[in-house]
Copies of this chain bind each other. A is one copy, B any other.
């Protein structure tokens, strides 16, 4: 028997009994502390830091933290095995739940929609529809069976095969009908393969709701919609609890595949996240779980696989074949989701392993697929998904951008959250000026801030087009590192919320150039394959994890986006949630998404015919904005004076 130890956790003074040899990260996650662990407990992301207050009886194998940090008592929980009693503090910055999530708002979402359908009243015709029936009472002259009486009312004729019902409902129906004097309400669900009566109730059953869910790898955002008037009742976001198993989809897939119960664990973490969101949404309203009659899920291919409890391993292995593009419609109960047990769970179809249902949903939101003009949709995250098309053609690809635009792998990088620097500038003396989300002391720089930083530094001559610091700058903020590369001090430790210097290193710039280069190369290949010129893109929709802000000018300046007239760009925020909201309220809209996914071509950038071209484009784009400056004509004049 292993020795029992006590770990006391602060804040909260919560004492946990554990066995000697247990891993501290697993202990804390098991006790529902949602520590960040982007790398899935590999000791490489540095997110799960805890401070040891008392006790020395542990073994530690971490290598990431600086000597100073270790001196202060900080350790990576994932690299620590408990051997005796400990007292620790978890800093807020190590917790997922300590971070505020930007969920957008109904008004912002309606903006796009109202612009597109200008004036037309919003269509409300959901896949699950309430019908109120007043059935004629049976008599000797009309002794049609109970169920057939309902069929007759719904279809105008006897239809043995028009609808299904669950066995429980078949058993309960006769009493329900008689108790309610043949006046009932029912929920009729279009399950795509067939129609089903999922609920029969008295006429006082109350309003019906549908839940639109954007299942992001990092955050999950849910909007609760009234299925009758279409209004949004509430919206909440949560960090995806899968984050404990890794930051990005690849590390989640690895965790799922390499651990015995990995598939179930990542499934459970996601289901818990969604159930928590539902509980939070309902706690603010006088709405019962059973009043949620449907769920509409928009997520990338890996997320939808983990939602289904399916092994996502084939997604990451060549030839990158997922188990399914779209799962069948299952009932909430089957998946462990806490709403009406029979509520159908719809998932947007994927087009490939790395162009998922979130993109299909985003296309639906932007209506790209129904326009004459050729439009591009870019969703920039760990993968840069790019779609180009119009009403007659649709092609999509995914460029492996890496996590840089979400703050991953960048010294000062964080996600778009409170305390994230999202706008930057330098004064004449190269002093750094910034604005944070929430106007609080800075904790790091988010994706949109990093793009501005890169663009501004290049424009001001702080870095050159290759991304190297100007050694002659003459600012004491520029300092050399041990490895002889340079870094720039953005915010000194004492001004930050995290007690550490915020610095921007040449290595960070290299990361960012790779990310933007991958996205731009993807765009180039897509246009090449369609024999389109950049200028033929009448509109560019930008979706993704930049919070609610992206500097288009800066994005073009660093060569992330093509050099088009600025008014053609539109930042559409969380288009995945927007599409899901639309599909909750309109079955036709959801079916449109099936059609568009069917007709969409998936361009596999790693295939033989594409990979060399992609590599060439990628290398050419490792420059600010590009090795071929003629691709960015609007920048030439401005930049000329700063040429080296």
Contact = CB atoms under 8 A, between A and B. Distances in A.
Given A138-B319, A141-B604, 7 more contacts: A144-B325, A145-B323, A161-B192, A162-B193, A170-B327, A170-B328, A174-B311
Interface in A95-150: 138-148
Nearest to A318: B140
Interface string A286-323: 00000000000000000000001111001000111111
Interface residues of A, number: 62
A350 interface: yes
A60 to B, nearest CB: 38
Copies of this protein chain in the complex = 2
B323 A170 contact: yes
Interface in A257-292: none
B352 A143 contact: yes
Nearest to A320: B143
A475 B598 CA distance: 89
Given A174-B311, A604-B143, A325 B148 contact: yes
A175 B320 CA distance: 15
A167 B311 CA distance: 12
Nearest to A159: B598
Contacts of A158: 325, 598
A146 B319 contact: no
A430 interface: no
Contacts of A606: 140
A143 B610 CA distance: 14
A139 B335 CA distance: 31
Given A140-B320, A608-B140, A145 B325 contact: yes
A194 interface: yes
A146 B193 CA distance: 19
Nearest to A591: B161
A433 interface: no
A400 interface: no
Contacts of A352: 143
Contacts of A366: none
A537 interface: no
B324 A145 contact: yes
A571 interface: no
A324 B140 contact: no
B161 A323 contact: no
Nearest to A329: B164
Given A171-B309, A192-B161, A193-B162, A324 B146 contact: yes
A192 B327 CA distance: 21
A412 B507 CA distance: 102
Contacts of A602: 143
B170 A310 contact: yes
A169 to B, nearest CB: 9
A161 B193 contact: yes
Interface in A423-467: none
Contacts of A164: 193, 328-329
20 contacts: A140-B607, A141-B607, A143-B602, A144-B325, A145-B322, A146-B322, A146-B323, A158-B598, A160-B326, A160-B349, A160-B594, A161-B594, A162-B193, A167-B330, A167-B334, A170-B327, A171-B308, A174-B314, A175-B311, A193-B193
A412 B220 CA distance: 76
Contacts of A175: 311
Interface string A152-178: 000001101111110100110111000
Q: Top 7 A-B pairs ranked by shortest CB distance?
A: A140-B607, A147-B324, A193-B194, A194-B194, A161-B192, A138-B321, A145-B322
